[in-house]
Amino acid sequence: MSTLSERILKGAAGEYVDRKVNRAYVHDGTGVLTLEAWKSMGARRIQDASHLHIFFDHIVPANNSTTAALQHELRDFACGSFLRFSDIGGGICHQVMSEGVVLPNEIVVGADSHTCTLGAFGAFATGVGATDMAAIWMTGETWFRVPESIGIRLSGTLTGAAEAKDLALTYVSRLGMDGASYQALEFIGEGAGAIPMDDRLTLCNLAVETGAKAGMFYADDVTVEYLAAAGHTVQVQEPEDCTYIREIDFDLTAIVPVIAVPPRVDTIKPVSELTGLPLDQVFVGTCTNGRYSDLARFARIVKGRKVAVRTIVVPASRAVLEKAIRTGVLADLVEAGCSIGTPGCGPCLGAHMGVLGEGEVCLSTANRNFKNRMGVGGEIYLSSVATAAASALEGEITEPEVS
């Protein structure tokens, strides 16, 4: 009997396999490198572009003329080669691919480490380098070493003010930043079935922060319902008896709001231990927590009040932004004093739209808090949306209230 990775890749753990890729994508950063590598391989034309995507999401709008020139070249290539192209404002690659594109049992590769987000649909989704992606453009295939799998067994339900992000940071802390190197995390157990799709995306998103190759949920009724709304009919993936290299149990009722303190994602503290730490900026968004449910939750907490610190909110996609406009969530955010950014990655990678100054402190809903990531000399603390909202209102780290 096989793990989900073994079933999708059709090989035993440790085996090397060559497989056709169902969907592949790059963004404005890695796409430039992929195009250069593709040309260096002597390629001139892509024969089948139906499964290939290019997203402009990392540095959009362009922050300087050099960036703009590189994007111009990649944009022309994408349009001329008939690749599926998402230009400025379309949103973050992982989020747009989650909006009715990726399906269960697919092999998905992206030239970005957080491609593992899409394992939430019961797909094998993983990041590759630009050279590997260039070869995929040429052949439609790539190779994998089938990973061993760790079972993340969930029981109970989240209680109090705890959110999926708190669970994600907690499991990263338990495993460590290299505790699952080249392995796949499978979220299993009765607690997994009750987790909504948006939260599954958050949990799979942080898998790579343990060194994992993939983070995966089995497609179930939640998956079927979510994809049916996008016009897809899919089947449930029934778990088989299989052998995990390791199993870790999490009682969701015991999860509490936590914060990852700089400069490591796996170093967490309860929010209660950091209460009162002054903040210069709060950032809500990214492929971890920039979905509509995140923005709506943040808006509910700050509605009718004013944030006490500069607060940047960046929707993860145009679809998220449009829904936030229709439902009034965007108006609530603006009235509370938040600044709204163009759908995309925003300041997450430290390129623009919210870079930190020397000595500044940011509380972020992103997935990485490495030294100098959002600006030289700045410090990044990672939290859930609820913790970010409560803290934005006070201008300092604050425990979220039970909603």
Of 298, 311, 93, nearest to 205 by C-alpha is: 93
**8 A C-beta contact, residue 265 and residue 172:** yes
Report d(CA 17, CA 145) in Å as an integer: 6
Q: What is the DSSP letter of 278?
A: B
Residue 47 has a pLDDT of 81
368-375 contacts, C-beta under 8 A, 24 or more apart: 368/209, 368/265, 369/260, 369/261, 369/262, 369/263, 369/264, 369/265, 370/262, 370/263, 371/262, 371/263, 373/348, 373/349, 374/283, 374/347, 374/348, 374/349, 374/350, 375/350
Question: Among 372, 383, 374, which Cα is nearest to 355's?
Answer: 374
Residue pair 139/121 in contact by the 8 Å Cβ criterion: no
Note the pLDDT tens digit of each residue in 274-298.
Answer: 999 999 999 999 999 999 999 999 9
Q: In what order do the strands lie in the sheet with 214-217?
A: 214-217, 183-188, 148-155, 246-251
Distance CA 397, CA 383 (A): 10
Mean local confidence (pLDDT), 220-240: 97
Q: Is 323 helix (H, G, I), strand (E, B) or coil?
A: helix
Tokens representing residue 275 in the block? 């209460």
- The pLDDT of 349-373, averaged and rounded, is 97
pLDDT tens string 12-56: 999 999 999 999 999 999 999 999 999 999 988 888 899 999 999
- Alpha carbon distance 340, 219 (integer Å): 34
pLDDT digits (tens, 9 = 90+) for 325-337: 999 999 999 999 9
Locate tokens 């001139």: which residue? 44
Q: Is the pLDDT of residue 324 over 80?
A: yes
Question: Residue 273 in 3-state DSSP?
Answer: helix
Q: Do 4-144 and 260-394 have matching folds?
A: yes
Q: pLDDT-based confidence at 1, cuts 50/70/90? A: confident
Q: List pLDDT tens digits, range 365-375.
A: 999 999 999 99
Rounded mean pLDDT, 237-260: 96
Mean pLDDT within 299-315:
98
Question: What is the dotted CATH code of the domain comprising 260-394?
Answer: 3.30.499.10
Average pLDDT, the chain: 97
Q: Would the pTM count as exceeding 0.95? A: yes
Instruction: Quickly list H helices, 140-280.
Output: 164-175, 190-193, 197-205, 221-228
Binned at pLDDT 50, 70 and 90, residue 171 comes out as very high
3-state secondary structure of 167: helix
Q: Specify the pLDDT at position 400.
A: 97
**Distance (Å, whole) CA 174 – CA 302:** 32
Q: Is the pLDDT of residue 403 over 80?
A: no
CATH number for the segment(s) 4-144: 3.30.499.10
The confidence score (pLDDT) of residue 48 equals 85
What value, to the nearest 5°, has the Cα angle with vertex 122 and ends 257 and 294?
A: 35
The pLDDT, as a whole number, for residue 287 is: 98
Q: How far apart are CA 193 and CA 275, in angstroms?
A: 33
| Residues 55, 25 contacting (CB under 8 angstroms) | yes
On whether the CB atoms of residues 338 and 352 are closer than 8 A, the answer is no
Strands 52-55, 23-27: pairing is parallel
Q: How confident is the model at residue 181 (pLDDT cuts 50, 70, 90)?
A: very high
Instruction: Choose which CATH entry (3.40.50.2300, 3.40.1060.10, 3.40.50.1170, 3.40.50.10240) describes domain 148-254.
Output: 3.40.1060.10
Cα(274)–Cα(265) distance, rounded to whole angstroms?
A: 16
What value does the mean pLDDT take over residues 218-230? Answer: 98
- Give the start-to-end residue ranges of the domains of the chain: 4-144, 148-254, 260-394
